Amino acid sequence: MIYLGQTVAAEFISAETIARVLRVVLLLAIGLPVLKVATNFVARMLRHRFSAQHIMLVRKGVFYTGSAILLLSVLRELQFDLTALLGAAGLVGVAVGFASQTSLSNLISGLFLISERPFEVGDVIKIGETTGVVLSIDLLSIKLRTFDNRFVRMPNEMIIKTEVVNITRFPIRRMELNVGVAYKEDIRHAVKVLKEVANKNPFVLDEPEPMVAFTGFGESELKIFIGVWHAREDMLKLRDSILPEIKERLDAEGIEIPFPHRTLYVGDVTKPLPIDLHQPEDKVEKAE
Amino acid sequence: MKLPLGRTLHWQLGQLSLWLERSAEEILLAFDRNDKEEDRLVVARLEAKPQDLEWQRFAVGEGLDRITFRPLLSERPMIVRPESAITVPPGMSSDYYARVPLWIGLEMARPGDDPVALVEIPTVVLSNTWFGEDTMSGRLCYAMRTTARRTLQDVAARHHRAICPFQVRNVSKEPLVCERFSMDVQHLALHELDNLLWTPTVVITHRGSEAGQEVEFSQQTPDKRPLGPVISPAREPIGGSFLRQSISSFNLASLFR
């Protein structure tokens, strides 16, 4: 038995096979580290010239191309017939293509997104009802982290079709506030007071200067618009400081912020509504 | 100076008041501002520890008890306006003086060692502002509350401000309207001269709306006096001249009306 086994082993594991396996091992042992070094080198070369997602894409491109070359070399070394393999791969490709139309659509949308660059990794964007920080832009989808720390995956096809708002694209933004003051108030004085509040807040940019304007007559109030510019990172600090400041200053100036109210008119020009005050019956009994 | 153990010292530089206390292992720091006190100076006065302030703690260990107050300029450009818009005709130049607010850098050191920076505190709270052609491109700056003056006599000396002279040269063929000046103070060192802090003179040469503006720094005051020794080096030193839009002649808000 031992003799037979040694013969079989000798037939299948010839010196040539061993040499071939050694070559494959050598190919992988050299090829994989070289591929890793090459991807890192390319990433380092592009670091100062391209954005994070472009570098990531180039890295992936270099890695997958290198891996494919390495795989083909290994298969060739193992004496696989690559012509037949490629032919089969073509047929499989057509079948997979039909089966993965959505993925292909996402892939093509991803390429458009990457070339158009409406946002970058780290930007805060709003898509539909979702607002979050872009974690990555991949070929099939983008990944977001929302402010309540949820992970959201958005297919690229959907992003191409939907309105995308990039909240942090520009370094400064305008915060828009609407304040109502009572009809009895002096509009010019109220506008002046609100302008002073805006000018005094250190998070409000001095230029472009704050815009405070009387915009119309509301149901219960005179409407005043306040548009103040701020550095994008100061948005929360500004909102948390200017809203209390407006209320405190209007209170200090005796300017009323009215509650919504409605005047009922019952005809006869100026006759008021008759009002009778009644005490509830149980309270009347207790009082007695 | 050396901080006494367990005692609270008070400093006041204009609007900024700060208190320091050295405990066995820590430095305690608190500060406050008073808008009404513009020119008060208090140096290391022993006081009772104020209780109503927020105290910052620095774990510095033992031995590190020599404190240095280093005057610094802002890390961002400062925007200063002339008293009213001014036009510099072609071929002319004009001099200005601005009082730039200082930041106070607190440093601790053991004798013979390099100082350790603890914190930087602005002596006044300045508003942010934007300097650029539109709201998409430009730079975030601080807006100075005081205006640039034409003569040194109009600039009141203050302990917590540095005098920043600048000169505008219009070598173009068109008049230059100046509404706002951008001072890149992060590139400027602080020098001592006549017991006051001075920056080098910023020379802005306007070569035309297409050619842009060239900025360089001169180690002389506009009246040709050499600056004294460096008190604080520039945050971002820069050699020679550089191109930077430093004069604005229009109001961005007009774009949004």
Place of tokens 């400027």: B188
Chain-centroid distance of CA A101 in Å reads: 25
**DSSP run (H or E) holding B178:** strand B176-178
Identity of the amino acid at A178: N
Contacting A residues, span 216-235, partner chain B, CB-CB under 8 Å: 227, 229-231, 234
Q: Tell me the mean pLDDT in the region A51-57.
A: 74
Note whether B126 contacts A234, CB cutoff 8 Å: no
A245's CB contacts (< 8 A; 6+ apart) are A197, A200, A201
Confidence check: pLDDT of B172 > 50: yes
Q: What is the mean pLDDT of residues B59-76?
A: 85
Q: What is the mean pLDDT of residues A170-181?
A: 93
**pTM reported for the whole predicted model:** 0.73
Q: Tell me: the pLDDT tens digits for B101-153? A: 999 999 887 777 788 888 999 999 999 999 988 888 899 999 998 899 998 88
Residues 116-175 of A with CB under 8 A from B: 170-172, 174
| Burial category of A190 from C-beta neighbours within 10 Å (exposed 0-12, middle 13-18, buried 19 and up) | buried
Across the range B77-98, mean pLDDT stands at: 93
Residues of B within 8 A of A175 (CB-CB) are none
Instruction: Tell me the C-alpha distance between A185 and A254, whole Å.
Output: 9
A80-89, A142-151, B158-167: lowest mean pLDDT where? A80-89
The CA-based angle B207-B210-B215, given to 5 degrees, is: 40
Taken in order B154, B158, B161, B164, is the CA torsion positive or negative? positive
pLDDT digits (tens, 9 = 90+) for A207-252: 899 999 999 999 889 999 999 999 999 999 999 999 999 999 999 9
Put simply, whether A109 touches B (Cβ < 8 Å) is: no
Torsion of CA A36, A37, A42, A47, to 10 degrees: 100
Mean pLDDT of all residues in A87-91: 79
pLDDT digits (tens, 9 = 90+) for A10-26: 565 678 888 888 888 88
ipTM: 0.81
Rounded to the nearest integer, the mean pLDDT of chain A is 84
The shortest C-alpha distance from A252 to chain B (Å) reads 19
**Per-residue confidence (pLDDT) for residue B235, from 0 to 100:** 92
Nearest chain A residue to B124 by CA distance is: A202
Question: Distance, in angstroms, between B130 CA and closest chain A CA?
Answer: 5
Res A10: pLDDT: 56
CA angle A129, A131, A136 (to 5 degrees): 125
Cβ contacts (< 8 Å) between A202 and chain B: which residues?
125-128
pLDDT at B68 over 90: no
| Rg of chain A taking only CA atoms, in angstroms | 36
Give me the pLDDT at residue A175, please. 95
Rounded distance, CA A161 to CA B138, Å?
Answer: 32
What is the C-alpha to C-alpha distance for residues B78 and A218, in angstroms, rounded to an integer? Answer: 41
User: A191 or A2: which carries more pLDDT confidence?
Assistant: A191
Cross-chain residue pair A209–B251, CB shorter than 8 Å = yes
Q: How far is A116 from chain B (nearest CA, A)?
A: 18
A213 touches chain B (CB under 8 A): no
Percent of chain A at pLDDT exceeding 90:
36
- Residue A45, classed as helix, strand or coil, is helix
On the CB side of B24, how many CA atoms lie within 13 Å of its CA?
0
B25 Cβ neighbours under 8 A, 6+ residues apart: B59, B60, B61, B62
* More confident site: A5 or A106: A106
- Indicate the pLDDT class of residue A1, thresholds 50, 70 and 90: very low
